[in-house]
């Protein structure tokens, strides 16, 4: 089949040329249309339910909302995880589905189950399914700055900016945070209500029933009809005051008689602060799942530029996070490495081939293979990102392997007399077609295990494997079709002298080979010792899941006392910001969010703050590394009492939350029923982890210590006054939290109409205890006469996973490998933490990913190796020779292990990918060498001459493939931009392994072939 393909290409050169031009056009269009992002979409199919229950405590949210919903949601097909958080006034439920589950089908299933249980939930809930975004959907963050008040800026964001941005294709939603949401506020006067015998419920009913426009039909007016419209909606504060509540003694009791009507603001569950100066208003653009990040950010910027001239004087939109910048930096990191690698490859081709025409013919395989890869990426639905383009950069050196062998053999056979030039080209290409095809197929096979990886690692390295397979497959086809055609047009016939570099290398290699053949036992012994040393060294290398990606941004997470109120939390954040900006000049600006956001996608408590640190350019830093900068920020924060600091990055934080519901390298989850016992066990685990070397930012949520003001209603006392428990609770919620009773339309804007008690009620518990509630008979009774009031402790939040309560300890690891740290932590916890019956501990986070990846690779890599042996056997026709070539693999890994140990890198998933690539390259070189030996042996040449002449004849292609692959990875090794942390371990392993692999191929393989190869039968030339 390969012979017919080569013959067809050489006989139809015009057609091959036309198809090559078509490939150029198709590849160019595919590259133009490929979506561009910083990273692959690593999110799972995830559905979130956000329900708001104003005034409810975490315990009530769990018992009355979360638990019934969880029971209904259990058992949905393809569901793999169910997590929930019950916080003050918010229920946050997250469902993860198996990879490949259609997001719309998953949302439909959840929506159907949710609608089935909504009737049993408390009245007054709002919310539902969260927008179709992903945890990595935060694309663009901005502030609305200016001289306007917080309320005016928030109004501008809600009514002007947000609707315009939501209309952009690819935008899932625009989250609005900070500022004041204006309301029409009705503040009841309890004394006036009692004097006029009006209940709070009657006031709320009157407001709800007197705020509507409606139609009544048509009237005839001559030849025309009139549409009847009754106008009864509220337009201003006077309309509210004029509403009649009840009728007493022939007179209407109006809202204005029993309440103060004013403009107010919704109860706030969070705030945004900036630069230690005060509060701010923030917008957060969320991208749809699968949206093109670069195009989305570009469209958002264009829309903001269009909006700014229409904003009030002095108000401006100031971006402080732009995913597009990260996309550009990440893609430029890998494209720069790609460009540098191509230059290095061209230089090496010229040095080894000594012929500019031949070098250019081989080099043309690079753009053609890349363009073919872009076409296949588009068909496969891949985006151009750090990982997929990184796969192309990794493969650059390997893409020319097949073309190098073909062109090198064409040059070697051009001087043969007596045959036509095209036939000479055919024979030269056909001679190496089988070993080259087998070698490239072997390399493609060794990358197939990456396609079986699951979870985060599968989503990250699946695109790498697919891109490499696409590129190698394209390069193989092009090497057997386009390259011979180009060679027939560009290369001159006649004998070509070996280049200077090759002559020098052959002069140095010949005596080395002779010495090795004479002292074969010494060479074998040294090889075995090196292999044994690598085996002994391997367990000493630290193991980790993934190097931390430097996104260029820092998120500082601040945790305060659980009982803190919003005003004090804001004050603490501002003091911390001022301290950091004064002492760490590398931080240019700080935007911080405390508490819950508007949509409830990230429901933090009032004691939790996420601070986004905008940094100065690296050239202005006093520190060499980001870790040193973080240490300086942490030291500055120590001056502020009562805060715990931890540090992460935007995408890293959301990825950790998505995987385990926790932010951090390590998540220790303790399951049990009693909240106090869970808190105690979590405290013990924290102390143990903090004592271990390498631990950093070890934190468990301070889940106890929130002050609850418990109102224990006396049923008999309430009954004597004709009051029901439900009525008392509703009145209290309306007076303290506020109760929404309608909406006022103002210039197309929906303004909530709220009944809420006066601010005096919320000043102190003593004032609240004296609150007088109206009774049905027109009296007013003090709350202290209806209930027993006491201050108790309660939880900040209640976390559940798979319907079981849990407490979580999170930790980051620095300065040592993750797996070793977790092993020490597990031993310490098992020894010193005694779990009561019914309690259990699981270890998650990045550690869980590492264990899953290691287990999967341990299963599928042996299968891939068996497939390699099968391909070698099919190619060589000899099991002995297949094993002989296969023996290159363990010996090639020696250099990779040594390189990891010397560089101090850990054995991570990227390093494992490097070892996988190394196996394929080692097999390719061994196969090229053994095939040449077999061809010489088939002509009856003595075995001694076979290994000498064969090794010298294949010196150039072996050195070319190895050095081109190694030097092609040098730019990745030296890169410093975002994503270089992932590529570096891979480059280290491959470069180190190629040194040992090439040396062993050139020195040890001839010895092994001479000793173990079976006599070959004579084959036709």
Domain with CATH 3.30.70.1320 in the chain: 46-182+267-326
Task: Identify any residues that bridge with 224 across adjacent strands, giving them in sequence order.
Answer: 221
Q: Which of 333-337, 421-425, 910-914 has the lowest mean pLDDT?
A: 333-337
Q: What is the mean pLDDT of the chain?
A: 85
Q: Residue 289, SS3?
A: coil
**What would the pLDDT profile of 496-521 be if each residue is shown by its tens digit?**
667 888 888 888 889 998 998 888 88
Overall average pLDDT of the 574-592 stretch: 92
**What would the pLDDT profile of 124-159 be if each residue is shown by its tens digit?**
788 888 888 776 788 899 999 988 888 899 989 988
Check if the beta carbon of residue 479 is closer than 8 Å to that of residue 402: yes
Task: Identify any residues that bridge with 254 across adjacent strands, giving them in sequence order.
Answer: 244
**pLDDT, position 1019:** 38
Is the pLDDT at 619 greater than 70, yes or no? yes
Overall average pLDDT of the 828-839 stretch: 89
**pLDDT, position 215:** 84
CATH number of 46-182+267-326: 3.30.70.1320
- Cα–Cα distance between 657 and 665 in angstroms, integer? 11
Is the pLDDT at 302 greater than 90, yes or no? yes
Overall average pLDDT of the 486-494 stretch: 79
Overall average pLDDT of the 848-857 stretch: 79
Of 479, 461, 294, give the one whose Cα is nearest residue 372.
479
**Cα distances (angstroms) measured from residue 115 to each of 109, 601, 815:** 10, 20, 50
Overall average pLDDT of the 243-272 stretch: 88
**What would the pLDDT profile of 686-709 be if each residue is shown by its tens digit?**
889 888 888 887 877 666 667 788
**pLDDT, position 1011:** 84
Phi and psi angles of residue 740, each rounded to the nearest 5 degrees, phi first: -75, 125
**pLDDT, position 429:** 84
Domain with CATH 3.30.2090.10 in the chain: 199-215+231-257+707-794
- Cα–Cα distance between 143 and 140 in angstroms, integer? 11
**What would the pLDDT profile of 176-221 be if each residue is shown by its tens digit?**
888 888 899 999 988 888 888 888 888 999 999 998 888 888 888 8
Percent of the chain with pLDDT over 90: 17
Q: How confident is the model at residue 414 (pLDDT cuts 50, 70, 90)?
A: low
Q: How confident is the model at residue 472 (pLDDT cuts 50, 70, 90)?
A: very high
Q: How confident is the model at residue 281 (pLDDT cuts 50, 70, 90)?
A: very high
Q: How confident is the model at residue 23 (pLDDT cuts 50, 70, 90)?
A: very high
Of 294, 289, 356, give the one whose Cα is nearest residue 134.
289
- Cα–Cα distance between 396 and 343 in angstroms, integer? 11
**Cα distances (angstroms) measured from residue 238 to each of 45, 234, 255, 715, 761:** 50, 9, 10, 40, 25
Domain with CATH 1.20.1640.10 in the chain: 1-33+355-492, 505-539+877-1015
**pLDDT, position 696:** 81
CA-CA-CA-CA dihedral for 595, 598, 600, 605, to nearest 10: 10
Q: Which of 450-459, 477-486, 898-907, 932-941 has the lowest mean pLDDT?
A: 450-459
**pLDDT, position 18:** 92
Residue 907 CB partners (closer than 8 Å, separation 6+):
538, 541, 542, 543, 544, 900
Q: How confident is the model at residue 1017 (pLDDT cuts 50, 70, 90)?
A: very low
Highest mean pLDDT among 30-34, 165-169, 561-565, 779-783: 165-169
Describe the crossing of helices 846-876 and 455-490 by its angle, rounded to 10 degrees. Answer: 40
**pLDDT, position 376:** 93
Phi and psi angles of residue 340, each rounded to the nearest 5 degrees, phi first: -65, -40
Q: Residue 266, SS3?
A: coil
Q: Which fold has domain 199-215+231-257+707-794?
A: 3.30.2090
- Cα–Cα distance between 894 and 898 in angstroms, integer? 6
Question: H-helix or E-strand containing 66?
Answer: none
**pLDDT, position 592:** 92
- Cα–Cα distance between 125 and 122 in angstroms, integer? 7
**pLDDT, position 1016:** 45
Determine how many CB atoms are found less than 10 A away from the CB of residue 764.
10
**pLDDT, position 891:** 79
Q: Residue 85, SS3?
A: strand
**pLDDT, position 374:** 92
Q: How confident is the model at residue 109 (pLDDT cuts 50, 70, 90)?
A: very high
Of 909, 559, 739, 690, give the one whose Cα is nearest residue 184.
739
**pLDDT, position 461:** 83
Task: Identify any residues that bridge with 260 across adjacent strands, giving them in sequence order.
Answer: 187
**Cα distances (angstroms) measured from residue 989 to each of 468, 847, 910, 976, 992:** 17, 22, 9, 18, 5
Residue 663 CB partners (closer than 8 Å, separation 6+):
557, 646, 648, 653, 656, 657, 810
**What would the pLDDT profile of 657-667 be if each residue is shown by its tens digit?**
666 556 567 88
Q: How confident is the model at residue 1020 (pLDDT cuts 50, 70, 90)?
A: very low
CATH of 1-33+355-492, one of 1.10.150.530, 1.20.1640.10, 1.10.1840.10, 2.30.30.30: 1.20.1640.10
The verdict on pTM exceeding 0.75 is: yes
- Cα–Cα distance between 220 and 222 in angstroms, integer? 6
Q: How confident is the model at residue 495 (pLDDT cuts 50, 70, 90)?
A: low
Check if the beta carbon of residue 1000 is closer than 8 Å to that of residue 892: yes
Overall average pLDDT of the 8-27 stretch: 91
**pLDDT, position 347:** 86
- Cα–Cα distance between 753 and 918 in angstroms, integer? 68
Check if the beta carbon of residue 375 is closer than 8 Å to that of residue 389: no
Determine how many CB atoms are found less than 10 A away from the CB of residue 484.
28
Q: How confident is the model at residue 1018 (pLDDT cuts 50, 70, 90)?
A: very low
Question: H-helix or E-strand containing 780?
Answer: strand 780-782
Residue 296 CB partners (closer than 8 Å, separation 6+):
139, 140, 168, 170, 171, 285, 287
Of residues 395 and 495, more confidently modeled: 395
**What would the pLDDT profile of 753-774 be if each residue is shown by its tens digit?**
999 988 887 777 887 887 888 8
Question: H-helix or E-strand containing 559?
Answer: strand 554-559
Check if the beta carbon of residue 779 is closer than 8 Å to that of residue 721: yes
> What class is the 505-539+877-1015 domain?
mainly alpha
Helical residues (DSSP H) of 414-499, grouped into ranges: 421-447, 455-490
Overall average pLDDT of the 546-568 stretch: 83
Overall average pLDDT of the 648-673 stretch: 76
Question: H-helix or E-strand containing 345?
Answer: helix 323-353
Is the pLDDT at 580 greater than 90, yes or no? yes
Q: What is the Cα 979 distance to its own chain's centre? A: 12
Task: Identify any residues that bridge with 438 across adjacent strands, giving them in sequence order.
Answer: none
């Amino acid at each position: 089949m390969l012979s017919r393909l080569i013959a067809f290409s050489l006989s139809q050169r015009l057609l091959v040329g036309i198809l090559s031009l078509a490939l150029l056009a198709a590849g160019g269009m595919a590259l133009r249309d490929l979506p561009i992002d910083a990273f692959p979409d690593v999110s799972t199919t995830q559905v979130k339910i956000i329900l708001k229950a104003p005034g409810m405590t975490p315990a009530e949210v769990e018992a009355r909302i979360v638990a019934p919903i969880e029971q209904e949601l259990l058992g949905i097909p393809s569901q793999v995880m169910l997590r929930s958080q019950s916080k003050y006034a918010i229920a946050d439920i997250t469902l993860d589905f198996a990879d490949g589950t259609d997001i719309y089908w998953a949302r439909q299933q959840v929506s159907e189950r949710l609608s089935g249980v909504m009737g049993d939930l408390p009245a007054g809930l709002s919310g539902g399914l969260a927008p179709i975004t992903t945890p990595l959907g935060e694309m663009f963050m901005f502030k609305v700055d200016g001289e306007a008040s917080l309320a005016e800026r928030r109004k501008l964001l809600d009514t002007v900016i947000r609707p315009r941005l939501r209309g952009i294709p690819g935008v899932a939603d625009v989250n609005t945070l900070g500022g004041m949401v204006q309301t029409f506020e009705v503040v009841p006067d309890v004394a006036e209500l009692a004097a006029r015998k009006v209940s709070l419920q009657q006031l709320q009913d009157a407001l709800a029933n007197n705020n509507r426009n409606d139609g009544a039909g048509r009237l005839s007016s001559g030849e025309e009809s009139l549409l009847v419209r009754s106008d009864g909606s509220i337009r201003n504060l006077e309309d509210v005051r004029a509403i009649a509540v009840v009728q007493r003694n022939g007179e209407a009791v109006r809202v204005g008689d029993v309440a103060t009507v004013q403009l107010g603001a919704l109860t706030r569950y969070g705030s945004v602060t900036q630069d230690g100066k005060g509060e701010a208003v923030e917008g957060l653009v969320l991208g749809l799942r699968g949206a093109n990040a670069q195009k989305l950010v570009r469209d958002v910027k264009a829309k903001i530029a269009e909006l700014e001239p229409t904003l009030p004087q002095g108000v401006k939109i100031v971006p402080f996070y732009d995913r597009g910048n990260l996309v550009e930096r990440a893609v430029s990191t890998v494209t720069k490495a790609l460009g540098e690698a191509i230059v290095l490859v061209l230089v090496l081709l010229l040095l080894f081939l000594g012929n500019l025409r031949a070098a250019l013919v081989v080099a043309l395989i690079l753009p053609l293979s890349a363009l073919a890869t872009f076409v296949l990426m588009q068909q496969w639905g891949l985006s151009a990102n750090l990982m997929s383009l990184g796969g192309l950069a990794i493969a650059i050196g390997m893409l020319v392997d097949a073309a190098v062998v073909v062109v090198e053999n064409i040059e070697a056979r051009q001087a043969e007399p007596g045959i036509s030039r095209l036939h000479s080209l055919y024979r030269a290409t056909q001679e190496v077609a089988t070993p080259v095809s087998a070698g490239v197929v072997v390399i493609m096979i060794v990358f197939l295990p990456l396609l079986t990886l699951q979870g985060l690692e599968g989503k990250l390295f699946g695109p790498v494997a697919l891109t490499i397979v696409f590129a190698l497959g394209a390069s193989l086809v092009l090497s057997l079709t386009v390259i011979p055609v180009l060679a027939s047009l560009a290369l001159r016939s006649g004998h070509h002298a070996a280049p200077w570099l090759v002559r020098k290398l052959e002069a140095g290699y010949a005596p080395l080979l002779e010495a090795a053949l004479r002292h074969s036992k010494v060479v074998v012994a040294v090889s075995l010792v090196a292999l044994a040393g690598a085996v002994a060294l391997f367990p000493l290398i630290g193991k980790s899941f993934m190097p931390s990606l430097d996104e260029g941004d820092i998120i500082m997470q601040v945790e305060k006392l659980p009982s803190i109120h919003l005003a004090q939390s804001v004050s603490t954040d501002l003091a911390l910001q001022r301290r950091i900006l004064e002492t760490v000049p590398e931080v240019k600006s700080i935007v911080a969010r405390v508490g819950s956001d508007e949509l409830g996608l990230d429901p933090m408590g009032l004691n939790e703050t996420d601070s986004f640190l905008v940094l100065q350019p690296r050239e202005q830093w006093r520190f060499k590394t980001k870790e040193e900068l973080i240490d300086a920020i942490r030291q500055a924060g120590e001056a502020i009492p009562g805060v715990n600091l931890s540090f992460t990055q935007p995408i890293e934080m959301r990825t950790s939350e998505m995987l385990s519901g926790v932010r951090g390298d390590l998540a220790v989850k303790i399951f049990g029923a009693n909240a106090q016992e869970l808190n105690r066990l979590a405290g013990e685990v924290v102390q143990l982890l903090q004592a271990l070397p390498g631990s950093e930012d070890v934190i468990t949520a301070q889940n106890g210590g929130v002050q609850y003001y418990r109102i224990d209603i006396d049923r008999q006392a309430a009954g004597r006054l004709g009051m029901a428990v439900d009525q008392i609770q509703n009145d209290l919620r309306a007076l303290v939290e506020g109760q929404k009773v309608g909406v006022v339309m103002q210039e197309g804007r929906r303004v909530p109409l709220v009944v809420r008690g006066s601010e005096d009620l919320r000043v102190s518990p003593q004032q609240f205890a004296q609150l007088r509630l109206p009774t049905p008979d027109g009296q007013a009774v003090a709350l202290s006469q209806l209930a027993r009031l006491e201050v108790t402790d309660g939880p900040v939040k209640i976390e559940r996973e798979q319907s079981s309560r849990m407490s979580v300890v999170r930790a980051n690891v620095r300065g040592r490998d993750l797996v070793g740290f977790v092993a020490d932590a597990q031993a310490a916890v098992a020894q010193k933490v005694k779990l009561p019956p019914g309690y259990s501990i699981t270890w998650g986070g990045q550690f869980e990913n590492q264990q899953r990846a290691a287990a999967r690779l341990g299963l599928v890599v042996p299968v891939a190796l068996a497939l390699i042996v099968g391909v070698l056997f099919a190619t060589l026709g000899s099991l002995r020779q297949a094993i002989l070539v296969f023996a290159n693999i363990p010996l090639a890994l020696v250099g990779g292990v040594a390189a990891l140990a010397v560089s101090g890198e850990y054995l991570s998933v990227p390093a494992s990918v490097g070892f996988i690539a190394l196996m394929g390259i080692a097999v390719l070189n061994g196969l090229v060498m053994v095939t040449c030996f077999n061809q010489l042996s088939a002509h009856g040449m003595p075995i001694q001459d076979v290994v000498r002449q064969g090794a010298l004849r294949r010196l150039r292609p072996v050195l070319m493939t190895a050095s081109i692959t190694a030097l092609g990875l040098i730019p990745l090794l030296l890169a410093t931009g975002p994503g270089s942390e992932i590529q570096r371990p891979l480059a280290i392993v491959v470069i180190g392994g190629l040194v040992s692999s090439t040396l062993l191929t050139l020195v040890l393989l001839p010895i092994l072939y001479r000793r173990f190869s079976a006599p070959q039968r004579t084959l036709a030339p």
